[in-house]
Structure 1
Amino acid sequence: MTWDEVESELVKAACFAGSSSRPGLLQELRTHFAMVELAIGAVGRLWLAGSFVSGKLDPEDIDVTYLIPPDAYTRAITDPDTVDDLDNLGTRDWCVRHGMRVDAYVLRLPETEDFRALGVTGAMAPGDRKVFEDLGLYDEIWQRCRSGQKGIPDGARRGYVEVLP
């Protein structure tokens, strides 16, 4: 989705017309996104998950995973001030204290671009194995449901929305 589609489908859609939290949550996410982008220099894309991407009328927060291009990520983690900024932006309590109901995670995107070559020995960029494992972990986490709660059947799956800034 684009930012406009997120707003249209997850905030302004008729089914959310009575929501008291969605417009504010989206604004808080936009502020948070701008702060992450300013700290790192680039955000490749982001995953929105949790109740904000569900049919829940009034979600309490937004779960987001920022996927950062490898060069920007490498620069960011070598600067202690940027690491501190990202640590703050990824801490829910810090975000709430600063008026943002955002639960955020930051992951590096892989350097490997030609995915057809992944099965070829030596074709994967060094370090990308761990990157792919982390991406797969969060992909799986965001598709899980809290089974048995509020009528959610056991084994139910959910999803997340990928936003291209």
Structure 2
Amino acid sequence: MPPLPAFNPSTECPPPGRFPLTWDEIESELVKADDFAESSTRSGLLEELRVHFALVEMATGAVGRLWLAGSFVSGKLDPEDIDVTYLIPSDAYVRAMADPDTVDNLDNLGTKDWCVRQGLRVDAYVLRLAATEDFRALGVTGAMAPDDHKVFESLGVYDEVWQRCRSGPNGIPRGTRRGYVEVVL
């Protein structure tokens, strides 16, 4: 994988877009890079994310991808948490949602206060990936799996949210966009 592009000086974030990185590249680019050598939080945050990831994977049976955003994917020396969206393969998601205990577990894992009480500084969201795999036929009536239009809408919302910057006293102009990371599993 190519490394994460240089951060935009006005946002201290990657340029707009989604950038695929492996776990090792995330550690290299966002924890061990020279700019973060003095960080007191980044290494611990990454370890907490790995624990959280394992818990989500155990609950769902599979994680397709992860999207990382927020201050961890920025030039901030000591981010307070990691913002993550788990993208669960459709079949695993449907199975998970059929089990009330798993639903409760995922609800906890997606609740920041619960995570903090467990010693995990993770702000997580869990989304289903589309069941439709053959995109050549999407223009054909009935080619998309039932409810996939809702899945695509939800994925689009989170893609849009993760590319937005908070404007305000930090001097970032309103409407400025940023990039985020997709963890390649």
Out of 147, 162, 167, which is 1:142 matched to?
A: 162
Which residue of 1 is the match for residue 36 of structure 2? Answer: 16
Deviations 1:58-84 (A, max 9, x none): 111000000000110010000011001
Instruction: Find the aligned partners of 2:71 and 2:136 in 1 and give their Cα distance.
Output: 35
Residues 1:104 and 2:124 aligned together: yes
Out of 129, 138, 156, which is 2:149 matched to?
A: 129
How far residue 149 of structure 1 moved from its aligned partner, in angstroms, is 3.1
Which residue of 2 is the match for residue 164 of structure 1? Answer: 184
Runs of 4+ that moved beyond 6 A = none
Gaps of 5+ in 2: 1-20
Instruction: Find the aligned partners of 2:91 and 2:124 in 1 and give their Cα distance.
Output: 20
Which residue of 1 is the match for residue 86 of structure 2? Answer: 66
Gaps of 5+ in 1: none
Counterpart amino acid of 2:116? V
Instruction: Find the aligned partners of 1:130 and 1:45 in 2 and give their Cα distance.
Output: 18
Instruction: Find the aligned partners of 1:78 and 1:123 in 2 and give their Cα distance.
Output: 25
Residues 1:26 and 2:63 aligned together: no
Out of 65, 71, 75, which is 1:51 matched to?
A: 71
Compare 35-44 and 117-126 and name the one that shifted more: 117-126
Q: Which has the higher helix share?
A: 1
Instruction: Find the aligned partners of 1:22 and 1:119 in 2 and give their Cα distance.
Output: 44
Report % sequence identity. Answer: 80
TM-score, normalization by structure 2: 0.87
Counterpart amino acid of 1:16? F
TM-score, normalization by structure 1: 0.97
Instruction: Find the aligned partners of 2:24 and 2:82 in 1 and give their Cα distance.
Output: 17
Q: Structure 1 149/118 Cα, relative in aligned 2: closer, same or farther at 3 Å?
A: farther
Compare 111-120 and 26-35 and name the one that shifted more: 111-120
Which residue of 2 is the match for residue 77 of structure 1? Answer: 97
How far residue 148 of structure 1 moved from its aligned partner, in angstroms, is 2.3
Count of matched residue pairs: 165
Instruction: Find the aligned partners of 1:116 and 1:141 in 2 and give their Cα distance.
Output: 28
Instruction: Find the aligned partners of 2:94 and 2:174 in 1 and give their Cα distance.
Output: 40
Aligned CA-pair RMSD: 0.8
Q: Secondary structure at the match of 2:179?
A: coil
Deviations 1:104-149 (A, max 9, x none): 0000000111223222221111110000000000000101111123
Out of 140, 147, 151, which is 1:120 matched to?
A: 140
